Chain A
């Protein structure tokens, strides 16, 4: 199975900050990478698909980049509602696997 290594595992930031989260795949997955936001008790929310495409309805402060094995999620100008846990998930081939998650906390 393809392993996804996500970093950092946790991150402290302030409202208005710019943050970056990375995921590295153990083998090339072209652009088959999604980013999700997770808040306890809620359905996971798709932010970015195909590495860089913004899901409909997601604010433009979220962006994704990368291809092959290295991918990045960037959030510019953090808002209070952005403090959550973020996961990458590849959909290149099953078994689909996740990164370990990044918990974004208020500094």
Chain B
């Protein structure tokens, strides 16, 4: 059974950093890209970024709203993807989801349940 489990969310102050994890199981993690999305009452649902599989270069792409502040990485030996969030802003408050991201259809077939990040002083 394919599973994705996010962790690492919590309360953090503006300007600080937080790292989220996405632990995957039930499939060959290294064969897939991983995307991060977020949902907030104010901003709705938003794609955050993704990391390609190592076979496809392992490179990353980001939404303009987080580029330069967020970094996605992966550890295929542990089947974990990370979202490193720096220079946090109040507007980064959201539930963050990771998804399995295939380069063939369907693109985003399995999602985690999300982890809540609250940025507040």
- Chain B residue numbers with a CB within 8 Å of A98 are 44-46
| Selected contact of A94 from candidates B47, B105, B110, B111, CB within 8 Å | B47
What is the number of residues of chain B that contact chain A, defined by CB distance less than 8 Å? Answer: 21
Contact B45 A87 (CB under 8 A): yes
Give bound CA distance, A49 to B107, whole Å.
8
**Which residues of A sit under 8 angstroms from B50, Cβ to Cβ?**
94
Q: Are the CB atoms of B106 and A34 closer together than 8 Å?
A: yes
Q: How far is the CA of A89 from the CA of B50 in the complex (A)?
A: 15
Interface residues on A, range: 20 to 34
* Residues of chain B having any CB pair with chain A under 8 Å: 4, 35, 44-47, 50, 61, 63-64, 97, 105-114
Q: Which residues of A contact B (CB under 8 A)?
A: 34, 41-46, 49-50, 53, 55, 87, 89, 91, 94-98, 100-101
